Chains A and B, each alone.
Chain A
Amino acid sequence: MTQPEETRAPINQFVHYRKFVDASNRSVVGFNVDNLYSLAWIDLKAEPLVLAVPAMGDRYWMMQIVDAWNGVPAVPGSRTLSGKDPHVFLIAGPDWKGTVPEGMELLRSPTNLGGIGGRTYCAGAEDYAAVNALQDQYQLMPLSAWGKRSATPAKVPLKAGADGETLVNKQVMALNAEQFFSNLNRLMATNPPYAADAPTLEKLRPLGIAPGVPFSTEGLGADVVAALEEGVAQGKAALAAEMKGLGKMVNQWGLTYDMGRYGTKYAYRAAWTFVGIGGNVLEDAFYPLALNDADGKPLSGEHRYTLTFPEGAWPPADAFWSMTLYDIEGYLVDNPLDRYAIGDRSGMAPGPDGSLTIYIQGESPGKDKEANWLPAPKTGSFKVALRLYAPQKSVLNEDWVPPAIQRAD
């Protein structure tokens, strides 16, 4: 690959998602239909990168910086910045000591490897052209190229040996102890652990885990090598167990309040990383997920459901909110309205008492209620994901939680 493709790009270059997927998609699960992504993998070892964003007006956007431990050191965006003017950011790695050029805002990453999760609000197909035009104005380039006549390199090979086909999770699970720990030690040399990790590193040092130290099982006794492999197997088992209990369950919604801020809860951090790299911190987004109704029974296309937010308790988001329905595998569900999500921009009708009811079912609830209809599959299990962007204080302090989904038949 030499140029950014639809979903892949060389390092230090953006790949822009130009439109939303629909129900025919079978390659990306859990796709949102609120924002179009602009994603980049970055390497700051050689020099910092400049990220330029045009004046965005009133449009919601964010450029989430993700470090190599799946932390989120910075998130410039419309939640904290004005859309009147363009913004230029300098993303620097942990060791860079240069002078920040005038007009640039420094974003410091604690690791050299990282990512940018750019999200730009998109109202739908009629908004694609406007969003795509903004995406084309996002600039990402080495500091040395800033202000010079330069073009995106046309011939950037994929990293030697990179496997662009096999799922990353699968690739990592296939590593034996020696491969895994030698990769870890090598990577830690330029992607240092956090200061809070110092006690853990001290504890692991007798095992040979330390930044930049070669790790080899050569010369070790068979019992030690076997113990290393057993430890890795136990780590995988602990990961699987942790993934079953991610977040806390309230009203049958799974709620997570500390995404991107895992501290020293390493099993928890590993589990969320396994789910996905680049989860938003709570101030930026809150993602309740429901698979069951109020009685704890799986949501099913054989039944009809309602979700009612009482007056004064609609999802509290400063930016916007949405609720997307997926089949149990995470794919969008085909329906006659091509409606995959519903939310505060959908023109839903409130009830006479000021409440808001969403009808979740396979068949139309009737013309008078269709504006509040979130189409479900007619058979099979499904799940719904709420997304609150820039959630308000009542979410941050855990006062507001979504009510349970009620079965209506």
Chain B
Amino acid sequence: MNATPMLRIIKSSLATAFAMAIVLSSNAGAQDGLTPVEVRNLAKEAWLFGLPLVMFEK
């Protein structure tokens, strides 16, 4: 059965909220799914990538 427009909106909002929750939770504990070696390698790359911006503010 097709949902009413209002329900569609609610479902859509819930879906959006759910998706955001996944994004937020993945950011909050972002390093959790990585091995220490992966963390080290990504941290090296991120440091080199971000250096100009961090220097610029100082």
Residues on A close to B: CB < 8 A?
68-70, 111, 113, 115, 162-163, 168-169, 171-172, 175, 177, 180-181, 183-184, 187-188, 191, 197, 200, 203-210, 213, 219-220, 223-224, 226-232, 234-236, 238-239, 266-267, 269-270, 273-274, 277
**What separation, in Å, do the CA atoms of A324 and B55 have in the docked complex?**
28
| Interchain CB contact (< 8 A) of B49 among A70, A200, A213, A232 | A200
Which chain B residues lie closer than 8 Å to A224 at the CB level? 31, 34, 36, 39
Minimum distance in angstroms from B54 CB to a CB of chain A: 5
Which of B4-12, B13-21, B40-48 lines the interface with chain A? Answer: B40-48
**Measured CA separation A176–B40 after assembly (Å):** 14
Q: Which residues of A contact B42 (CB under 8 A)?
A: 203-204, 206-207, 209, 231
Kindly list chain B residues whose C-beta atoms are within 8 Å of the C-beta of A229: 43
Question: Does more than half of chain A's interface fall in helix, strand or loop, or is it mixed?
Answer: helix
* Inter-subunit contact A232/B43 (CB<8 Å): yes
* Interface membership of chain B positions 18-58, coded 1 if the CB is closer than 8 angstroms to chain A and 0 otherwise: 00000000110111011011111111111111111111111
Contact of B54 among A187, A223, A227, A238 (CB under 8 A): A187
Given contact pairs A224-B36, A224-B39, A235 touches B55 in the complex (Cβ within 8 A): no
Q: Is the CB of B56 within 8 A of A70?
A: yes
**Quick check: B51 and A239 within 8 Å, CB to CB?**
yes
Footprint of A on B, CB under 8 Å?
Answer: 26-27, 29-31, 33-34, 36-58
**A206-B33, A207-B31, A231-B39 as given contacts; A273 in contact with B52, CB under 8 Å:** yes
Smallest beta-carbon distance B52→chain A, Å:
4
Query: Hey, which chain B residues are within 8 Å of A180, CB to CB?
Result: 47, 50, 54
Known pairs A168-B55, A213-B27 / 4 extra A-B pairs, C-beta < 8 Å:
A188-B53, A227-B39, A236-B47, A269-B51
Q: Is the CB of B45 within 8 A of A172?
A: no
Min CB gap A321→B, angstroms: 29
Choice from B40, B49, B52 contacting A68 with Cβ under 8 Å: B52
Q: Are A274 and B40 in contact (CB under 8 A)?
A: no
